[in-house]
Amino acid sequence: MEHKTNEIRESTLSRIERNERYYKLAFIVAALVEVGFIAAFLLLADFSNRVHVLLMISSFAVYTIIGAGLFALGLHVSQNTLRILNAIELSEDIAEK
C-alpha cells in the first residue's frame, strides 16, 4: 500500500512540475507579446495628440490593476497549496502512529 501511495505521489508531483513549466513558458511568451505591443504603441504614438496620451495612461492603469490582481491571486493560490500540503503531511504523520 505504501509503495502504491508513493508512486501516485511521484506521478502527481511530476505532472504538477510539468504543468508549472508550461505555465511559466506561456507567461513569458504572453509578457513578451505585451511588451512588444507597448513598445509599438510608444514608437507609433503622437504624444502631442492628447488622445494618444490618454490611451497610454489608461492602458498603463489597466495593466497595473490586472497585474496587482494576478499577483494577489498567485499569493492566494500559493497559500492554499501550502495549507493542503501541510494537511497531507499531518495526515501521514497521524496514519504512521
In this predicted structure, what is the pLDDT of residue 11? 84
pLDDT digit string (tens) for 12-41?
888 888 988 999 999 999 999 999 999 999
Would you mind telling me the total number of residues written for the chain in this entry?
Answer: 97
- Phi, psi values for residue 84, rounded to 5°: -65, -45
**Domain definitions of the chain by residue range:** 1-44, 47-97
Residue 66 is which amino acid?
Answer: I
Query: The pTM is what?
Result: 0.65
**Are the C-beta atoms of residues 59 and 39 closer than 8 Å to each other?**
no
Q: C-alpha cell of 30?
A: 504572453
